[in-house]
Amino acid sequence: MSTTALLRADRLTVHIGPIAILSELSFAVHAGQVLGVIGPNGAGKTTAVEVLSGFRRGTSGDVLLDGRSIARRSPTQRVRLGLARTFQESPCIDGLTTGDHVRLALSAAPQRSAKTSVAAMLERVGLAEHHSSAAASLSLGDRRMLDLARALACFPRVLLLDEPFAGLNSEQEKRLEAAIRSHTNAGGGVLIIEHRLALLRDTTDTVIALVQGTCVAAGSMQEVLDDARVRSAYLGQAG
């Protein structure tokens, strides 16, 4: 295994006034591996993804893709460099069809593909029949799969998935797991934020736990869940 991580977060810090949303957060996503990110609400998980993907600027710290800093790059540039993400709300563009969203990503991706790839992409996520439907008319679960398809259509090396399992039925969950697996088999890396720990158990290789903006535990799923600080954060939350 190479020592250079595919994606590395180096002491990410995000301050809003006196409040630290992220504090010296460091972790790495390696090629062919899945990193899980867990933590109570408000821990800063989505913020971390926002900073990694360029939608938010950190107060300090660096983001490195293949060892090279991309902290100054715009989100679009990061996509072109191979970093794609999904969104918690799975937004879509009114007026465009499902197929359009995938075509959009494909046309911007370095490997330009013919129209067949749109169908293939949609087939992978189970949306083939919705090819010409307005994206806005899709159900929530379908929109999440479209978001995934759009991210995959960027042919990324690293996938950042923000609570991708929420709102999916079991067939869609299987498709998502399959997509993650084939991505890692091809040498890509994945970062997943998830609350449904049972799902993460089988998919991830390493897990980190975020509490109040810092990483309090890292390791396998079991190790992290056994960690006292993680337990208190979760159990304290449930109160």
**Residues 154-193, interacting with another protein (CB under 8 A):** 154
Q: Which residues pair with 62 in a beta bridge?
A: 10
Residue 80 CB, nearest approach to another protein (Å): 5
Closer CB to another protein, 105 or 168, in the complex = 105
The candidate with the shortest Cα–Cα distance to 165, out of 136, 204, 107, 205, is 204
Bridge-based pairing state of the strands 83-85 and 158-162: parallel
Closer CB to another protein, 69 or 137, in the complex = 137
Strand order in the sheet with 68-69: 19-29, 7-16, 60-65, 68-69
93: contact with another protein by CB under 8 A: yes
Spatial CB neighbours of 79, under 8 Å, sequence gap ≥ 6: 108, 154, 156
Select the residue interacting with another protein from 65, 79, 122, 152 (CB under 8 A).
Answer: 79
Residue 185 CB, nearest approach to another protein (Å): 23
119: contact with another protein by CB under 8 A: no
Cβ(204)–Cβ(10) below 8 Å: no
Select the residue interacting with another protein from 8, 103, 144, 175 (CB under 8 A).
Answer: 103
Residue 66 CB, nearest approach to another protein (Å): 18
Residue 213 CB, nearest approach to another protein (Å): 23
User: By CB under 8 A, which span of 68-76, 118-126, 180-188, 196-204 interacts with another protein?
Assistant: 68-76
Binding mask 18-57 for another protein (x = CB under 8 A): -----------------------------------x-x--
133: contact with another protein by CB under 8 A: yes
Residue 95 CB, nearest approach to another protein (Å): 6
DSSP state for residue 153 in the 8-state scheme: T
DSSP state for residue 195 in the 8-state scheme: S
124: contact with another protein by CB under 8 A: no
**What would you measure as the largest C-alpha separation in the chain, in angstroms?**
54
Cβ(145)–Cβ(164) below 8 Å: no
84: contact with another protein by CB under 8 A: yes
Residue 23 CB, nearest approach to another protein (Å): 25
Residue 199's identity, in one-letter code, is L
What secondary structure does DSSP assign to 65-124, as a single string? ETTEE-TTS-HHHHHHHTEEE--TT----TT-BHHHHHHHHHHHSSS---THHHHHHHHH
Residues that bind another protein in the complex, under the rule CB under 8 A: 53, 55, 74-76, 79-80, 84-85, 87, 91-97, 100-101, 103-105, 107-109, 129-130, 132-134, 136-137, 150-151, 153-154
